[in-house]
Structure 1
Amino acid sequence: MMNTRVTPRPAGWSWPVALTVLVFVLLLLVPVYASMTDSSYVLLQFSRILVFALAAVGLNLALGYGGLVSFGHAMYIGVGAYCVAIASHYGADSGVLHLLLVLVVTAVVAAPVGLIALRTHGIAFIMITLALAQMFYFLAVGLKQYGGDEGLPIRQLSRFGALTGSHEGLYLALLACLGASLLLLRRVIRSRFGLILRASSMDARRVQAVGTSPLGYRLLAYVLSAELCALAGFFLANLTAFASPAYMAWTASGELIIMVLLGGAGTLVGPVVGAAGFLLLEDVLKGLTDHWMIIMGPVIILIVLFLRNGLWGMIASPKEDR
């Protein structure tokens, strides 16, 4: 019998990876299409999709891989937006300064919040994250010198040289940040850190029993996920030239969770697909009827019930996507 040697197919040529590259190529062509058709709305809408895709990717690290059902991650979008708005309010418009401020303030907020919340589990964790997020929401509402419940307009956007004020430049920066975040999380999830994080989400006691404390790993995952949400807030502030307490509302956190579940929790690209599907469906239904929520609710419920791995799960299993 002839002995034939089968050469394994390189992982880089897998269908999910090829489709991911195709998605990013299409997203890269959005500014070209918007310029050719003179449609600023298309660029604005897809910029908004990328903002919430970045936030959903961040939440997915905590929810999809860490099993941490946080009902307060929209708080960090608000923190990122207000860092830009308040710094601009005092005349500081350096983009680098804004970014540093967003990352540092978010770490200072997320570390103690995560430490408190991670002492609990299950419904108690959900309620604590919700309560702390609401506390920050009402804090923003109470800051009358920064607009209170009416929000704070941003007169000076983050300055990055020639890119300042360019909608195309902001879009491309968003796309680059989203791509870099996905590559970073892919390495994180495949590392020892990711292995312990996923094991902790299944049974933290067993991880503890083999001599590894899961608390530090889960806290780091929580803080990293908060940082990605805050980056989304940074971009949202520059996109809308506005910071509002509404960014921190518990309903915004609920929408983020829906995006993650809709695309596929525990998959790398799923939250991006979920954010795009959620916002595009919302946009289409709003154009059809004022009662769009009556239609959207059942559609999302059916997708989550019958597609256990979300929209992305129809194409790639969670194992293939990691």
Structure 2
Amino acid sequence: MPDFRHRETWAVLIGLAFLLALPPLADAMGKGFYITLFTRILIFGLAAVSLDLILGYGGMVSFGHAAFVGIGAYVVGILSWHVFDGSPVVTWPVLVEGTENAFVVWPLAALMGGLFALVIGAVSLRTTGISFIMITLAFAQMLFYLAIGLRQYGGEDGIALYNKSELVPALDLFDRTIFYYVCLAILVAFLALCRRLVGSRFGMAVQGARINERRMRALGFSPYRHKLTAFVISGAAAGLSGALLANAAEFVGPAYMSWQRSGELIVMVVLGGMGSLFGPVLGAAAFLLLEEWLADLTEHWQIFLGPILLLVVVFARRGIWGIVAGPDRRER
């Protein structure tokens, strides 16, 4: 029997090596556009992994996950707008010499994403199934229309960012290569954190609650508390991805938290492989690359995406990651 553990390890190492080598290779070939494209892939990969934490491992089908992405983006956008307007609502250390301090603003975006996830999760996790899906969707739509109603911050037109967050003077985030590696480092760090969480007692309790909540309660665990904690962690990570997305696009708009964007995140997770952590990154890459390439052929590129997703769901139980890394250990 083949050792799929080694195959999975090699898949991760090869993928990481490719991502590390991509910027110099793209510059050498005169294809700098791919650095920007793969930066978006890394950011959406982070958002997709955060969703996989609750969808793939916790069985929580959230159809409003993009709301947390939008909240994180608006934290960056609103602070940036006040800096440009000359009337900051906060002082140092959030603002440093007219620019946003990423060491404060990005954690603040994650914090706001986590706080909103706490409120939404506290209500929605008291239900299951279709009720849970509809409540998360309802909360997301409320936040979406709230963003449209923020006339001071552009309303439906959104906010154009005139500056980016600042990490340290030596790291200029306007340099697309530096920003790419910052996004890669954050994604790798979150994947490592999720790996530890999933394999921990907490992670086992969340997965057990997905399978049989009644039995977990009989064993002395609190499924609600564990699932809510996972939901908050997921929302915080999505908020951080929104902060990165705002810096990457230099724009923030209500579309970031629309139900269509939530649907896209679910597609990324399913396409890459639910409950695999690394799969959603592959799913994000596949989705955005297909969007990029097929959009040149037709504006109705989703017509091609539908059959591809159907084939993956029917013939690859673990999505693209199952094809690359082999079956799950529980299936061997």
Give the alignment's TM-score, normalised by structure 1.
Answer: 0.93
**Residue correspondences, number:** 311
Alignment of 1:133-172 (within 5 A): 133-160=140-167, 161-164=169-172, 165-172=174-181
CA RMSD of aligned residues (A): 1.6
TM-superposed CA distance for 1:25, in Å, is: 0.6
Quote the offset at 1:24 in angstroms. Answer: 0.8
Determine whether 1:261 maps to 2:253: no
TM-superposition CA deviations, 1:121-167 (whole Å, max 9, x none): 00000000000000000000000100100010111210122323111
Gaps of 5+ in 1: 1-8
CA distance in 2: counterparts of 1:174 and 1:291, whole angstroms:
30
Q: Does 1:95 align with 2:102?
A: yes
Partner of 1:130: 137
CA distance in 1, matches of 2:329, 2:262: 27
Residue 182 of structure 1 pairs with residue 191 of structure 2: yes
Give the match for residue 80 of structure 1.
72
Q: Which residue of 2 aligns with 1:60?
A: 52
C-alpha distance after superposition, 1:160-213 (max 9, x if no partner)? 223231111110011111111111111111110111110000111111122211
- Output the CA distance in 2 between the equivalents of 1:293 and 1:213: 41
Aligned partners of 1:153 and 1:243 also within 8 Å = yes
Q: State which of 208, 213, 217 in structure 2 corresponds to 1:199.
A: 208
Percent of residue pairs bearing the same amino acid type: 43
- Which residue does 1:273 correspond to in 2? 282
Inter-partner Cα distance in structure 2 for 1:130 and 1:240: 25
Matched, 1:35 2:27: yes
Secondary structure at 1:14's aligned position in 2? helix
Cα distance in structure 1, aligned partners of 2:101 and 2:220: 46
* Offset at residue 103 of structure 1 (A): 2.2
Structure 1 residues 270 and 320, CA gap change in structure 2 (3 angstroms): farther
Q: What's 1:3 paired with? A: none
Q: Is the 8 A contact 2:246 2:252 kept in 1?
A: yes
CA contact (8 A) 1:149 1:245 kept: yes
Q: Is the 8 A contact 1:266 1:318 kept in 2?
A: no
Q: Match of 1:149, as an amino acid? A: E
- Structure 2 contact 113–237 (Cα < 8 Å) conserved: no
Which letter does structure 1 place at the counterpart of 2:21? L
Structure 2 match to 1:223: 232
Name the CA distance, whole Å, in 2 between partners of 1:195 and 1:156. Answer: 43
Aligned partner of 1:304 among 310, 313, 320: 313
- Name the aligned partner's letter for residue 250 of structure 1: W
